Structure 1
Amino acid sequence: MMLRDKKAIIIGDRDGIPGPAIEECVKTAGVQVVFSSTECFV
């Protein structure tokens, strides 16, 4: 896999896809999440 053993910074959107949901997806691909947050972009 191309993402295995990579590191990621995740910024989710409150009205879109939240950070924890993206985090769970990328963890299954073998990515190490170093920061995850959900922000409100207004």
Structure 2
Amino acid sequence: MQANVCEIQELNTVEIEEVSGGFLPVALFLFDVAIWAYDGYKLGQITK
């Protein structure tokens, strides 16, 4: 999980720089969050 958080923070800094691009950075961020949430869900299912 630690590595995922670091990756998300790096992506956030890139997207903030590209905020003038409009919708695309937001869509990429939401996509990254969805992947992170799905990974967390799978890990939760494995540990049960």
Q: Same fold (TM over 0.5)?
A: no
Query: Higher strand proportion, which one?
Result: 1
Q: For the superposition of Structure 1 and Structure 2, which TM-score range results when normalised by the shorter chain? A: 0.3 to 0.5
Please tell me whether Structure 1 or Structure 2 has the larger radius of gyration of its CA atoms. Answer: 2
The structure richer in helix per residue is 2
When normalised by structure 1's length, the TM-score is 0.36
Superposition TM-score, scaled by structure 2 size: 0.33
